[in-house]
Amino acid sequence: MRATNDYDARQIFVEDVGYKLYKGFLKDRPSLVKKYNSEWSFLRRNPYTDIAIGSQMSVHKNVLKVIGCCLETELPIIVYEFAGSKILCTCISATNDEPLPRKCRLKIAIGIASAVAYLHTAFSRPVIHRDIICSNILLDQNNVPKLIDFGLCISIPEGQTHVIDDLTVGRTLNLAPEYKDRGYLTEKVDVYQFGLLLIELSSGQDIVSLCCEHNISLGIEIHIDAVHNRIRNEGIDQFQDFKTLIRKCTSFEEEDRPTMIEVAKELRRIDQSFTSPS
């Protein structure tokens, strides 16, 4: 494909389970091109779902805009607007020489919370994302976050409050307990993953790696304590509210977790009370 110089490996921007995202050009304008590989059906990531949901979600400012697709190839190809060349997981890494300011990280959290809340409420039936992770979030030149993938989305059937589905292959360490144990899915599965994302945003550390060394509950507590100490040293008074929100989002019982609308509202309240210059 000419847009990506025939999928030149040097043009790969993101490489995730089941797909690669390439930098390219379309009619002399920069774009991003997603190419699925043959593993997608085994991994439950559905490019047709990605196209359908992603296209409808493109109206939201915190979603990467779909501008076209090709269904004539063996596997669908999706073309997106070019909105920058930064991936969140790289920008928040503790090893990054230029870490994102604390205030910027909070704005990123608000943007993603808004997008996920929209996903849960904007369709005729709630849609669950199931893959809210740092590598699925792009930052534009102003550090505005963009969700870039909807291939694992699943909707709750009419007349039901939940859906039962098999585990998502390759993502078992960051799944909500009820999903991991019983395949039980509600919107609160996304809330749980978002709570883990908040920890990573604050600490700059990969929670999945830590949870490989500890059980998930202990891993979460270790991360929260690390974030507590780091932010306390910066003299930020709002951390207790942030810490409480993380604990609510990652509650073991799904009914104890807030909705994404409530999460977004609380993050905005914390942001408005934020006094740190960073």
Q: Which of 252, 148, 143, 254 is nearest to 201 (CA)?
A: 143
pLDDT tier for residue 137 given thresholds of 50, 70 and 90: very high
pLDDT tier for residue 238 given thresholds of 50, 70 and 90: low
Among 82-86, 91-95, 133-137, 263-267, which stretch is predicted with the lowest mean pLDDT?
91-95
Angle at the Cα of 97 from the Cα atoms of 92 and 102, rounded to 5 degrees: 45
The answer, yes or no, to whether residue 25 has pLDDT greater than 50, is yes
**pLDDT value of position 45:** 76
What percent of the residues of the chain are helix, what percent strand, and what percent coil, each to the nearest 5? 45, 15, 40
Question: What digits encode the pLDDT tens for the residues 50-94?
Answer: 999 999 999 999 999 999 988 888 888 999 999 887 889 888 876
Q: In what order do the strands lie in the sheet with 77-81?
A: 12-16, 19-26, 29-36, 77-81, 66-70
Q: Which of 18, 32, 139 is nearest to 90 (CA)?
A: 139
97 is catalytic: no
User: What is the enclosing helix (H) or strand (E) of 163?
Assistant: strand 163-164
pLDDT tier for residue 235 given thresholds of 50, 70 and 90: very low
Q: Who wins on pLDDT, 227 or 150?
A: 150
- Where does 2-81 sit in CATH, by number? 3.30.200.20
Question: What digits encode the pLDDT tens for the residues 199-212?
Answer: 888 877 776 665 55
The answer, yes or no, to whether residue 271 has pLDDT greater than 70, is yes
Catalytic residue among 131, 149, 190, 206: 131
- Where does 86-272 sit in CATH, by number? 1.10.510.10
Among 48-62, 122-136, 237-251, which stretch is predicted with the lowest mean pLDDT?
237-251
What is the phi-psi region of residue 86: left when phi exceeds 0, alpha when psi lies from -120 to 50, beta otherwise? beta
Q: Which of 20, 21, 28 is nearest to 2 (CA)?
A: 28
Q: What is the mean pLDDT of residues 158-171?
A: 81
Cα separation, 169 vs 13, whole angstroms: 23
**pLDDT value of position 56:** 96
pLDDT tier for residue 240 given thresholds of 50, 70 and 90: confident
Spans of all domains in the chain = 2-81, 86-272
**pLDDT value of position 16:** 75
